[in-house]
Amino acid sequence: MAAITREELERVLVDASDGPRLANLDLSGLDLSGANLSRADLYGANLNLADLKGADLSVADLEGANLNSASLRGASLGNATLSNASLTLACLRGAELTCAYLIRADLSGADLHGANLEGATLSRAERFNTDLSGADLSGADLNGANLSRVNLKGATVTDEQLAQTANLRGATMPDGTKHN
């Protein structure tokens, strides 16, 4: 995996008319806060510990990307593909994930407090010990998702959606009660 600096990335962003091609690059630890990465090809990229606060990643391809411990606070990820991505311990507080694809994504320990996941596809995703408190899951596909020990307090989600999940053991439900 090739490493890239912020300066090299900025040159790529200027030259990209239909979204930058950054697949399989090592962008770990870079400060990409506020960057316009809309429509970017970040397939398999290493964004471990990257600062993506407020970045525009709408319609980006992040399939299989490593976003472990990345900061995506307030980032725009609407219609982004995050299938098979690893977001363990990532901060996505207040992030916009409307209609994002998170099929089989690993969100273990991630902070999605207040995130907008309206219409997102989270089927078969792993969200062990994830904070989804106050998140909007309206219309989200939770089919087969593992929500064990997830905090859903104050989240917008229906009983029908929760019935589709694979596991709710130890989850804090939207009304604050614990699921057995």
Q: Tell me how far the alpha carbon of residue 80 is from its chain's centroid.
A: 9
Q: What are phi and psi of 126, to 5 degrees?
A: -100, 120
CA–CA distance, 113 with 153 (Å, rounded to integer) = 10
Residue-level pLDDT at 2: 61
Report whether 66 contacts 46 (CB < 8 A).
yes
Number of domains in the chain: 1
CA–CA distance, 172 with 68 (Å, rounded to integer) = 24
CATH of the domain at 137: 2.160.20.80
Mean pLDDT of 144-173: 95
Mean pLDDT of 156-163: 96
- How many Å is the Cα radius of gyration of the chain? 16
* Segment 68-97, tens digit of pLDDT: 999 999 999 999 999 999 999 999 999 999
Find the domain containing 73 and state its range.
Answer: 1-180
Report whether 85 contacts 103 (CB < 8 A).
no
- Kindly give the residue spans of alpha helices, DSSP state H, lying in the chain: 6-15, 159-163
CA–CA distance, 158 with 172 (Å, rounded to integer) = 14
* Segment 39-67, tens digit of pLDDT: 999 999 999 999 999 999 999 999 999 99
* Segment 123-146, tens digit of pLDDT: 988 777 899 999 999 999 999 999
Residue 15 has pLDDT above 90, yes or no: no
pLDDT tier at 167 (50, 70, 90 boundaries)? very high
Average pLDDT, the chain: 93
Q: What are phi and psi of 71, to 5 degrees?
A: -100, 115
